Structure 1
Amino acid sequence: MMRLVERGLMYGNLFEVATPALVERYNEALEKLTGRRTLLSSFHIDLSGFAPEIAEEFEDHSYLNPHGCNRQFILLSVEQKRSPLLNMNFSTSRSILKKFIVENETALFALTSRDAVFGELMNSVYRISNAKHLLDIRQIRIEADTVKRAIAKASELSKLVERFQIEPDGWWNDELASKMINLAKETGDIRRYPVTLKNKSFQQGNFHTTHFDGVYVFRDTQLPVVISKIPKDEFLDFPIETVLNFSNRSLIAAFLEKNKLIQPLIDAEDLDAKDIILQRLDFIMVEHLTSEGITVKDLSRYELRSLALRTEKNLPDEFEGLNDLLRWLEQGGQKPTLSPEHPAYFYSVRAKFHPDRDLVNMLLAELMPQDILQLFICHKEAFYTSYSTWNDAKRNYATDFLSKEYFSDKTKVRRELFGDDSPAALKELHDRNQREAPPKQPWGKYPVPNYSRKKPTPSTRKKTKGPWGGTI
């Protein structure tokens, strides 16, 4: 894994804690949460304050996340909002904690200038020992304060000020005035610099969790569904009618299509489907070649294809299916039909714009694991797990590709892979969808990509530069 760390593909964008003052603030908060202190003089922390170096020191990667249920956090700076969240047990945790920091940035900036803010993402479940507990988690409440209890004291001072203003003898109550003065010495002027924190409760609707080998919970959809990686004959007892396994490709596709969560790549007007298909074909060829121990680093797309075609082994079905789709895009002819059972099916669709797009992209990344780009962007834990099983040839290719092609312009690559999700683009897409009648897809029918859109002729097709180089 060290080559990932060296390239910034693992533990990247962490916040450095290197001054004695910050280390001491962290230790004071850490002692409040765990009863332990670190002996390290410098380390790096993520969005929640988790430090990989301290995890190694404690030999405990869950020291801020006991039982993987109620995530604890330590904030030393609002700059932590730019950091990733490591060891994430619930897909909603990062967005909740980041939103909490952004919405309280002014107050947190003032608080962290003098002290550490620490707390917990709490729900009604304290230990997940049964699959049913996952469905009990519906609201996340954030409890937070500083080591010196600045928030609690500010709240107490606010109540005393209110008493002082409304009680008839408040002006002559020396005891009340003395309490207010003493608290104000610690909190400052809360009228000019309020330290109260807002929006401390967040709804947890659809989500992914690493518990029970990985589970996707869609309960806010028209037909609630749980998608589990556990084999069908070992299904867990979820209090929900429909539980699917990753082997139920047709039913997963039907669910996603029924709830308008996915669409065929070639129907996405904000994407260049050809670019994406070409890149996925590259990834499939890389998997095919590196499995034979062949070095593919620095090979062009033409060299990759030529080398793959010269190998004795047949190219996988994923390649054949996507190549048929590419041929139709370029040359026309008979439209290919990819059923959900076809290995290339999930490589031919994308998540539509909706509140759970990131969750669907995470699911799709697991259903098309050879696309190392989407796997790295949307499901890093799955990427790291897969990476540990690859040989050196594929590891070298993956680290080289991601550090050069993705890190060079993350925003551009994301836009060209997932589409433009800017407010203006989303409004235009929404207005267009409102004018168009949505296609009907009865539940239970295999959703087949709609390739009925007229293919542009080669003479009118606009040439654009793809996210991975080259003009198409």
Structure 2
Amino acid sequence: MKRLIEKGLMFGNLVEIASPALVTRYNRALKHLTGRETQLQDFHIDISGYSPEVGDELGDDLYLNPDGANRQFILLSTAQKHAPLLNAKFSTARGILRQFIDANESQLFALTARDAVAGELQNSVYELSNPARLFDIRRITVEADTIGRHVADAGKLTTLIERFRTEPDGWRDDVLIADMIGLAKKTGDVTRVPIALPAMGFEQANFWTSHFGGLYIFRKAAAPAAISVAPPESLGALPIGQVIWLRSRNMLADWLAKNALVESIVTARNVDTAALLRQKMDFVLVAAADKLGLDLSGATRADLRQIARKLGSALPEEFTGLAAVLRWAETGGDWPQISSDHPAYFYLLRAVQGPDKGLVNMLLSELSPLDVRQMYICHKELFYHSYAQWSDAKRGWVAEFLEREYKIDKAGARAALFGPEPAMDETPRSAPRVAGPWTGTPIRAVGPWGAVARERR
């Protein structure tokens, strides 16, 4: 992983903690939450306050996320909102933390100027002994305060001030006045500068979790379903209408179509289809060349094309399928007959605009594992796991590519691949309808071929 770290492709945008004051504050919060402290004098933290250096020191990468069910967090600066979330167990966790910081940024800015803020993403489930327990997680509540309990004390002071103002003999109550003065020394004048950090709730409807081998839960879809990386029979009974194995490609394609969650990159608007297809074909060739032990160092597209010519009839089906679509898109050749069980099928899809866009693209990256760029953008946990198993030659090529083609313009690359980012309240739209080469009713543009295989008339 050292190559990725050096190129800023791993642990990028973490917040550096180097000043003695911040280290002391972090240790106070860490002691408060976990009973442990770090001896490090400088380290880096993510949006939740987790530090990979501290995790390595403690021998516990989940020291802020015990059992992976209720994530704790430490905020030392509002700048943490731009940092990634490492060791994510739920796909919604970073978005919840980001929204919490954004909604309370002015208060958090003032509070973190004097102390660390610590809190927890709370749900009603405290242990995940079996997969069915995941479905009890329906709402996440974020509660936080400084280690010195400034928010709680401000609430007490506000109550005392109200008593002083409303009770007839309040101005003569020496105990009341003494309590107000004592709290005001900690909180300041809350009548002029109110301190409030109310609990915030977030619905946990559709999400991914790494628990039990990986599970995508879509409770708010038109046809609710759970999509499992592990065989469904290993999960036991689940309280949802349908459980689909990730390897059941036809069932999965049909489900995505019925719920209008995906669209074809061939028919999507504002997409340079030819360039996108060529890049995906390059990724397939890199994987094929790596299997043959060919040298990939500095390999250009021309070099990859030479590999394709050498492979000839041994070219992977993903490559030949994408090449057929490219010919159709550029030259108007024969419409390619690619059904949902074809290895290239899911490489030709992307999520439609909507609140579940990131989750669906994350799912698609598992279904198109040779597209290393999409995997890196949409599913970093899977990317890092896959990267560790690649040869050094492929690691080098992928790292160079991501640094050269993605890192320099992340927003532009994401927009070109997946379209504009959706608003928080945007709902999924229906998939467009286009006429296919078949007569009769137009088909949904899940791919140019529909969700399941169809025959020409």
Tell me whether the two structures share a fold, i.e. TM-score over 0.5: yes
Contact 1:228 1:246 (8 Å CA) reproduced: yes
Bigger Cα displacement from structure 2, 322-331 vs 264-273: 264-273
Partner of 2:279: 279
Q: CA deviation at 1:269?
A: 0.8
Contact 2:433 2:444 in 1 (8 A): no
| Equivalent in the alignment of 1:250 | 250
Equivalent AA in structure 2 for residue 403 of structure 1: E
Deviation string for 1:233-287 (max 9, x for gaps)? Answer: 4343211221010111111111111111101111111222222111100000010
Aligned match of 1:35: 35
Report what 1:5 is aligned to.
Answer: 5
Q: Distance in 2 between matches of 1:438 and 1:200?
A: 43
SS of residue matched to 1:32:
helix
Q: Indicate the residue corresponding to 1:449 in structure 2.
A: 447
Whole-angstrom distance in 2 between the partners of 1:341 and 1:451: 12
CA contact (8 A) 1:55 1:62 kept: yes
Give CA-to-partner distance per residue, 1:170-228, whole Å, 9 cap, x none.
Answer: 22222212211211110012233222114511111100000001000000111110000
Structure 2 residue identity aligned to 1:71: R
The within-5 A match list for 1:316-331 is: 316-331=316-331
- How many Å separate the matches in 2 of 1:130 and 1:270? 44
Give the aligned residue type for 1:299: A
1:223 counterpart residue number: 223
Shift of 1:111: 0.4
Tell which deviates more after alignment, 225-234 or 151-160. 225-234
Alpha carbons of structure 1 residues 217 and 232: separation in structure 2 relative to 1, 3 Å: closer
CA contact (8 A) 1:254 1:447 kept: no
Paired residue for 1:293? 293
SS in 1 for 2:295: coil
2:4/2:399 contact within 8 Å kept:
yes
Identity value in percent? 49
Matched position secondary structure for 1:37: coil
Q: How many residues align?
A: 441
2:207 is matched with which residue? 207
Look up the match of 2:134.
134
Letter in 1 for 2:205: G
Q: Where does residue 267 of structure 1 map in the other structure? A: 267
Specify the SS of the correspondent of 1:142: strand
Tell whether 2:363 aligns with 1:369: no
CA contact under 8 A between 1:266 and 1:451: conserved in structure 2? no
- Root-mean-square deviation (CA), in Å? 2.2
Unaligned runs of 5+ in 2: 436-442, 451-457
What pairs up with 1:167-182 in 2 under 5 angstroms?
Answer: 167-182=167-182
CA gap 1:421/1:49 in 2 versus in 1, 3 angstroms: closer
Contact kept, 8 Å, 1:141 with 1:201, in 2: the verdict is yes
User: Distance in 2 between the 1:45 and 1:282 partners?
Assistant: 35
Secondary structure class of the residue paired with 1:39: coil
Q: CA offsets, 1:33-66, max 9 Å, x none? A: 0111111111111110001111111111111100
Q: Deviations over 1:428-447 (max 9, x none)?
A: x98xx89x8799xxxxx998
Contact 2:145 2:197 in 1 (8 A): no
Is the 2:257–2:444 contact (alpha carbons within 8 Å) kept by the matching residues of 1? no
Deviations 1:291-329 (A, max 9, x none): 112122322222211222213771111111111000001
Distance 1:376 1:22 in 2: 32
User: What's 1:14 paired with?
Assistant: 14
Deviations along 1:345-385, one digit per CA (max 9) or x if unpaired, are 10011100010000001000111010000100110010000
Letter in 1 for 2:417: L
TM-score by length of 1: 0.89
Q: Secondary structure at the match of 2:309?
A: helix
TM-score, length-scaled by structure 2: 0.92
Tell me how far apart the structure 2 counterparts of residues 199 and 64 of structure 1 sit (CA, whole Å). Answer: 19
Q: Which position in structure 2 is the counterpart of 1:465?
A: none
In structure 1, how many angstroms separate the alpha carbons of the residues matched to 2:224 and 2:446?
22
What secondary structure is seen at the aligned counterpart in 1 of 2:266? helix
Contact 1:78–1:101 under 8 Å retained in 2: yes
Q: Which moved more, 1:178-187 or 1:215-224?
A: 178-187
Q: How far apart, CA to CA, are the structure 2 residues paired with 1:2 and 1:450? A: 41
Distance 2:191 2:139 in 1: 31
In the alignment, what sits opposite 2:119?
119
**Greater displacement, 172-181 / 276-285:** 172-181
Matches of 2:162 and 2:215, distance apart in 1: 49
CA contact (8 A) 2:434 2:445 kept: no
* Structure 1 stretches lacking a partner, 5+ long: 440-444, 453-472
Give the drift of 1:163. Answer: 1.7
User: Is residue 125–residue 136 contact of structure 2 (8 Å, CA) maintained in 1?
Assistant: yes
The answer (yes or no) to whether the contact 1:270–1:420 under 8 Å persists in 2 is: no
The aligned amino acid for 1:117 is V
3-state DSSP of counterpart to 2:314 = coil
Alpha-carbon offset, residue 165 of structure 1: 2.2
Query: SS at 2:404's partner residue?
Result: helix
Aligned-partner Cα distance in 2 for 1:249–1:199: 42
Residue type matched to 1:266 in 2? V
Looking at structure 2, the residues matched to 391 and 312 of structure 1 have their Cα atoms a distance apart, in angstroms, of 23
**Secondary structure at 2:244's aligned position in 1?**
strand
Aligned to 2:438: none
Q: Which segment is superposed worse, 56-65 or 159-168? A: 159-168
Shift of 1:339: 1.3
